[in-house]
Amino acid sequence: MADRPYIVGNWKMNGMRAMLPEARAIDRAAQRLMKVEVALAPPFTLIHAVHREVEQIGVGAQDCHAGRDGAHTGDVSAAMIADAGAKFVILGHSERRAAHREDNDMVAAKIAAANAAGLDIILCCGESLETRDEGRAEDFVLGQLRHALAHVDAAGERLTVAYEPVWAIGTGRTAAPRDIAAMHAAIRTLLVESFGAEEGAQVRILYGGSVKPENAREILALENVDGALVGGASLSAESFLGIAHAAIGDEDA
């Protein structure tokens, strides 16, 4: 695990202004948890409000459009997200790849847009259960990443990779620790090949897929698991902070 684990909450399409106290509670606790880096990606509508509400945690977006501006009804650009107070953007999430048919080229175009807006990137990758059962998980994930990494301007701490097996997201199923460790090791090798030993080692690799306080400690203790991307369990300060505590091996996690 990284010296300072990175725990990121993805609120997905959840969160009204009534959720702001939850963000504040997470932020206040994070101020006392300096050994963990905590961040939240609320929906677009709450980015500015969460940004104003918090002092310690990072705030990001869950997606951006690939274009700079113009006639794209209903879309939000990377520059708009940055203007609202976001420091990072999650790209290539499997829910967007599936529901919005985002392919590797689209993800690459969004990476370029995020680069231009100065946003850090959390780049998601992950295989379906079918692909895993066919024994092609590693090839598939590394293929997704190779395509995307060629477009990344800044690696090191500006880039985070999130390995999220599609079948583990929101299902309550987590990948076996041995499989997580093997995939993260393969991703690390690719990062070092792509960016060199020093920068490639600095890129954080998060695991995502039904992480909760009860399973976080075992997952986060694995080699090359530098933190977690958390969906459902990030919606309450109590469970999200339980994961943050588990990341540093706190007994009360």
Would you name the residues annotated as active-site residues? Answer: 93, 164
Which residues, listed in sequence order, are joined to residue 228 by a DSSP beta bridge? 7, 207
Stretch that binds ligand PEP, among 23-31, 73-81, 129-137, 209-217 (CB under 6 A): 209-217
221-240 positions binding ligand PEP, by CB under 6 A? 229-233
Q: Which is nearer to ligand PEP, 79 or 230 (CB)?
A: 230
By CB under 6 A, residue 58 contacts ligand PEP: no
By CB under 6 A, residue 209 contacts ligand PEP: yes
Cβ(124)–Cβ(168) under 8 Å? Answer: no
Structure tokens at 159: 């880039």
Q: Which is nearer to ligand PEP, 205 or 230 (CB)?
A: 230
At its nearest, how many Å lie between ligand PEP and the CB of residue 242? 13
Q: Which is nearer to ligand PEP, 10 or 160 (CB)?
A: 10
List of E strands, the chain: 6-10, 37-41, 58-61, 88-91, 120-125, 159-163, 204-208, 227-230
Give the contact letters, 61-80, x = binds to ligand PEP (CB under 6 A), - = no. --------------------
121-180 positions binding ligand PEP, by CB under 6 A? 164, 169-170
Q: Which is nearer to ligand PEP, 200 or 242 (CB)?
A: 242
DSSP secondary structure code for residue 235 in this structure: S
Q: What are phi and psi of 123, to 5 degrees?
A: -100, 120
At its nearest, how many Å lie between ligand PEP and the CB of residue 249? 21
Q: How many residues does the chain have?
A: 253
Cβ(186)–Cβ(224) under 8 Å? Answer: no
Structure tokens at 191: 């990062």
Going by C-beta distance under 8 Å and a sequence separation of 6 or more, which residues neighbour residue 179? Answer: 137
Rule CB under 6 A: which residues touch ligand PEP? 10, 164, 169-170, 208-211, 229-233
